[in-house]
Structure 1
Amino acid sequence: MMKKNAMIDRYRWWEVVLMYCGIFVFLFFVLAPFIEGFLVSLKPLGLLFSTPYKFLPENGSFKAYFTMWESVPEFGRYIFNSFFISTVITAVVLILVVPASYAFARITFRGSGTLLGAFLAVNMFSGAVLLIPLFRLMRAYGMLNTYWSMIVPGVAFLIPTAIWLLSTYMRRIPRELDEAAYVDGASHFYILRRVILPLAMPGITVVAITTFIGAYAQQFIFALTFNSKTEYMPLPIGLYAYFGRQEVIWNELMAASFVGIAPAMILIFALQRYLVAGLTAGAVKQ
């Protein structure tokens, strides 16, 4: 009987083939732009637009990865600014989202569903739509040409998604734990700090990683509008400001882009096991 069940659970050969074909097609569309961008960074500038098109570069080298440091003197500063802005945004979002998610997930109060829906509605508005009112607010509070001009909008746009993710995760934690602690005289703050937080750490890790990625990716539009000083420029606007002046040096631009995203990719890969653990833990009913 056990052998029969094992045979039933197996995939047939054509199902395995279809599965791997689907994975290959998916990975091709996801990775093809990155592979092409990396190959562009290896090609000499004079051969980038030569015909016929050749996938593998001739006379390819890593020369652009060295020359782009001379072409962009403030490149290291741009990378630091991007990491600093993303780190501060992530920290502020977590400080605000953890207690808010606990309130939505564990405390019953009137209008909680409407308020949660209003948070989600914020994500329906593009940042470009709100640039003018945001610019007026930044100018009124003296935050133009500072880190805060990119941190504050980043926090505002990333909080709704973070609340939805973390509150959903906290709802899966058994309520009996809250009730037992409440019977013993524990306050909501004590329950959050001693009971919920240790169990919600996988979910908090997922929110932290997704928030950091979102903050790292959305810096261009805010920095372009609210900042004009080089010392505060993040990586996307710093590269745009330089390569957009005259002729675009595509191989150096691609090399700078890969060097710029490399620290973020290393961080994501280092925390990958925590990300997977948080996602799988949230998918299992406690």
Structure 2
Amino acid sequence: MSQPTMIHRYRWYELVGIYAGILLFLTFILAPFVEGFLVSLKPLALLFSSPYRFWPENGSLAAYRTMWVSVPGFARYIFNSFFISTIITVAVLLLVVPSAYAFARFKFRGSSALLAAFLAVNMFSGAVLLIPLFRLMRSFGVLNTYFAMIVPGVAFLIPSAIWLLRTYMMRIPRELDEAAFVDGASHVYTLRRVILPIAMPGIAVVAITTFIGSYAQQFIFALTFNSKTEYMPLPIGLYAYFGRQEVVWNELMAASFVGIAPAVIVIFFLQRYLVSGLTAGAVKQ
């Protein structure tokens, strides 16, 4: 006889409380996105009408059509954001995977202090380091290029990625490494052939979080280190909807939903890796 699942062990009023809590949580999470989408359907003259109407009257997709005309080169902005985020993600993975393996498997002098220093980097806002970063970018001659936004993005996202992947690799049994060493495998071979296949869910989590983080933090670096339109990312394109007299809210919301579409598509196709990576190791075998 099969055992009842965990959800069937609750009483009816406990189930009502659980689903009510989930519904309340989803309401707070999804309400801004629903409201933003409805704003993109409303004519600009009706956005601040009184009384407030949740569902738009005379709603249309006109803002989605006119936004391309309002900001010339908007498609280029989306491509730049996607390109910059992709390069940052690849660079972070190439640096973080061997670093996380070293911190997870080897004990060397100063490792704890180095990990603490990595964590301390995340305590500083990018705005605090803008002036020294600007001087550094100028000395390297990479201002007004993609590198001016890629290099700071990689630097700020590496510490959290190392901590996340190191924690995942520490859950992988050391006996696998020892068995590979007995067979004559080197550390590089062990990482590439033994550890990496097992750590792929954790690497996928790091890749997704890095991509999302790099997609979201491009505004301040692009505004400071770049003045050429052909290299500007999406946040600069959205900033163009803020005029001196008014903000074109419906077109801004439409452009925002179109701009985040590439990130949403990436997350949609990689969500199963994200779930498996976050839950791996949560249950003791």
TM range (shorter): over 0.9
Distance (Å, rounded) in 2 between the aligned partners of 1:65 and 1:5? 50
Q: Describe the shift of the 1:7–1:61 C-alpha distance in structure 2 as closer, same or farther (beyond 3 A).
A: closer
Partner of 1:43: 42
Q: Is this contact kept in 1: 2:165–2:202, CA < 8 A?
A: yes
Q: CA deviation at 1:247?
A: 2.9
Partner of 2:67: 68
Would you identify which runs of 4 or more consecutive aligned residues in structure 1 move more than 2 Å?
A: 2-9, 241-247, 282-286
Q: Describe the shift of the 1:53–1:189 C-alpha distance in structure 2 as closer, same or farther (beyond 3 A).
A: same
Partner of 1:263: 262
Deviation by residue 1:96-155 (Cα, 9 ceiling, x = unmatched): 000000000011212211111110111011111111111111111111111111100100
Matched AA of 1:180: A
Deviation by residue 1:10-61 (Cα, 9 ceiling, x = unmatched): 0111211111111111111111111111000000111001101110111001
Q: Is this contact kept in 2: 1:172–1:285, CA < 8 A?
A: no
Partner of 2:96: 97
Distance (Å, rounded) in 1 between the aligned partners of 2:199 and 2:30? 33
Partner of 2:227: 228
- 5+ residue gaps, structure 1: none
Q: 1:82-121 alignment to 2 at 5 Å?
A: 82-121=81-120
Q: Is this contact kept in 2: 1:85–1:150, CA < 8 A?
A: yes
Matched AA of 2:272: R
Secondary structure at 1:130 match in 2: helix
The number of equivalent residue pairs is 285
Deviation by residue 1:219-264 (Cα, 9 ceiling, x = unmatched): 1111111111100000001221353455321111110110001121
- The answer as to 2:47 corresponding to 1:78 is no
Task: Please identify, of 86-95 and 30-39, the stretch whose mean Cα deviation from structure 2 is larger.
Answer: 30-39
Partner of 2:209: 210
TM-score normalized with structure 1 length: 0.95
Q: Is this contact kept in 1: 2:145–2:231, CA < 8 A?
A: yes
Q: Is this contact kept in 2: 1:88–1:151, CA < 8 A?
A: yes
Distance (Å, rounded) in 2 between the aligned partners of 1:102 and 1:131? 31
Distance (Å, rounded) in 1 between the aligned partners of 2:106 and 2:249? 54
Matched AA of 1:206: V
Distance (Å, rounded) in 1 between the aligned partners of 2:133 and 2:50? 47
Q: Is this contact kept in 1: 2:241–2:252, CA < 8 A?
A: no
Q: CA deviation at 1:184?
A: 1.8
Q: Is this contact kept in 1: 2:223–2:236, CA < 8 A?
A: yes
